[in-house]
Each structure stands twice: as structure tokens, then as C-alpha cells.
Structure 1
Amino acid sequence: MADYKHILLPTDGSTSADKAAETAVDLARRYGARLSIVSVIDPVPFISFPEGGGEALAYYLEAAEDGAKQGIEQASARATAAGVSFDSQVLREHGPAPSIIGFAKQEGIDLIVMGSHGRRGLDSLLLGSVAHKVLTLSPVPVLVVK
């Protein structure tokens, strides 16, 4: 049986992330593990802003920050209610999957618990899947919650 001491919960505030938070908090409580909650914001998004698009970039960054904080607050409330020790932060890095994996390595994470949006078909090919990338590249176990 595995012995998890430090669990990572990446969140984007979505319904699937909230389901993952429920699972991560339950596992942390059962194992007496610490929980790290992160949300990743890409400070230079993939979209290109036209010249003078600073206003659009500012709007994107404000919305991304608000979404990240909301996701962290939701997961933090679950952890607090369950009496689970946690820390949280917003990662401002390019690419959610490499950021999540880098954080896991740096912090000595034993398990990553994350939600999946369940994209299939063309959406999956075009948009990719952060969960799939983390699952493929992670050096530690990953539990994907649907």
C-alpha cells in the first residue's frame, strides 16, 4: 500500500477540478498528508494580441488571476473543512503541464490528483489535455478524476 505524504492538486476552478479536490482532500485526510493546491496562469498566452492590444492582455491576465484565485479558494475551503494541512499558490509560467510537473519535482510530491475535462475527438486533438500530458510526463503517480 502506498504511503502518501505530500499530494498535489492542480486546479482551474472547473467542475472536474472540484471533483478532484474532493478526492485529493479525502486522500490527504486518510494518509495524514500535506496538500499543495496550485493553479497555473500562462502570463504570455498562446493568442497573439494586435499592436496596441495591451488592454486585451490586461483583461486576460485579470480574468486568469480571478479564475485561479477562485479555484484555489474552492479547494482550500474543502481542505479547511476536512482539517487537512495545505498550502496554495498561483504559478505564473508558460504551459500548465510542465509547470505542474516542475512543481511536483521541486516540492517532493508523492501523488498528483487532478480533474479531466473529458475532451474527446477533435477537441482533444486541437486543445490537448493537460491531464494527459501530466499523466504521460510525470515521474510520480497521477490520479485523474472524471
Structure 2
Amino acid sequence: MYERILVATDGSELSEQAVTAAIDLALLTQSELFAVKVSHHHAASYFEGSLLLSQMEVSRLRDEADAESQRVVDAVKGKADSRGVKRTTGIVMRAEGVSEAIIEAARVHHCDLIVMASHGRRGIKRLLMGSETLHVLTHSHTPVLVLR
């Protein structure tokens, strides 16, 4: 059925539900699991409030984001390994666009399913906050399983 499953996580409680479901599915189908966390990188000269951040401060913030992202995928890998998933790979994608990075990771690693969570926002909240899940659904050539 599935040989390579990608699960997108941000470390939140909601995405943990997607991680658990992806692990269960990987066990059921004896699939490899790829845990992806996108380390969101802003443009090098962005504003934090009204203060322009120095390049050194931007680099420090990127390093912190990368370390947190690595911690998240390591936790997923540990959970999957302890449950007996045959092979789990943790991937940190450094990008400005979260949904594009998820789609690219699925393509590069030849995944045949993407598992991710959705907050289920509707109306003005979705318009204002955007939806990475919706973007993945509408732009990915890989099937997507969305959990709420």
C-alpha cells in the first residue's frame, strides 16, 4: 500500500496526533517514515516589531529555530523507533515557505503519502492566518491524509 510516509510536524499537540497516526500507519503497512519539520527562515533583513535586527541577531534566531526543529524531529524518530517502525528519518527543512518545503521533501524522498494536521480554521481566520495544509493539498502530487 504505502512504502514511504512523510509526516509534517511542528511539535504542537495537534501535529502530535498526526505523528501518532503516521506511526500507526507505518507500522500497519511496514513503511518507512520521514518526519519533517520546517525551520521557518525569514528574510535576512526582517523587522521584529519596529527594530531592524542585525545580521548576527538574525543568525542567532535561525540557529535557535534549527535547533528546536531538530529536537522535534528527533522526538518523532525516538517515538517511532520505540514503537518498532522499520526505518525513520528526521528531516529539518530550512525554508521561508512551509508548504513548499513539505511538498519538496515528499518529492525528494519519493514519499507516496503525506500525513499532516489541520486546525480546521474557516472563514476570516483561514483568510487571515492562511493554511499550509490547504496549500499542500492543492499543490502536491503526492496524496495527503489530513487529520483534525
- Give the TM-score band, short-chain normalised: 0.7 to 0.9
Cross-structure match for 2:142: 140
Cross-structure match for 1:130: 132
Structure 1: tracts of 5 or more residues without a match:
none
**Contact 1:5/1:33 (<8 A) preserved:** yes
**Contact 1:12/1:67 (<8 A) preserved:** no
Write out the 4+ residue segments of structure 1 that deviate beyond 6 Å after TM superposition.
Answer: none
Cross-structure match for 2:9: 11
SS of 1:112 mapped into structure 2: strand
**Pair 45,116 (structure 1): closer, same or farther in 2 beyond 3 Å:** farther
Amino acid at match of 1:132: L
Moved more, 5-14 or 73-82: 73-82
Cross-structure match for 1:113: 115
Determine whether 1:41 maps to 2:39. Answer: yes
Q: TM-score, normalised by structure 1?
A: 0.87
Moved more, 16-25 or 60-69: 60-69
> Quick one: distance in 1 between partners of 2:128 and 2:145?
23
Cross-structure match for 1:70: 71
Structure 2: tracts of 5 or more residues without a match:
none
Q: May I ask how many residue pairs the two structures share in their alignment? A: 144
Q: TM-score, normalised by structure 2?
A: 0.86
What is the CA deviation profile of residues 89-123 of structure 1, one whole-angstrom value per residue up to 9, with x for unaligned ones? Answer: 21112201111111111211100001112333322
> Quick one: distance in 2 between partners of 1:102 and 1:82?
27
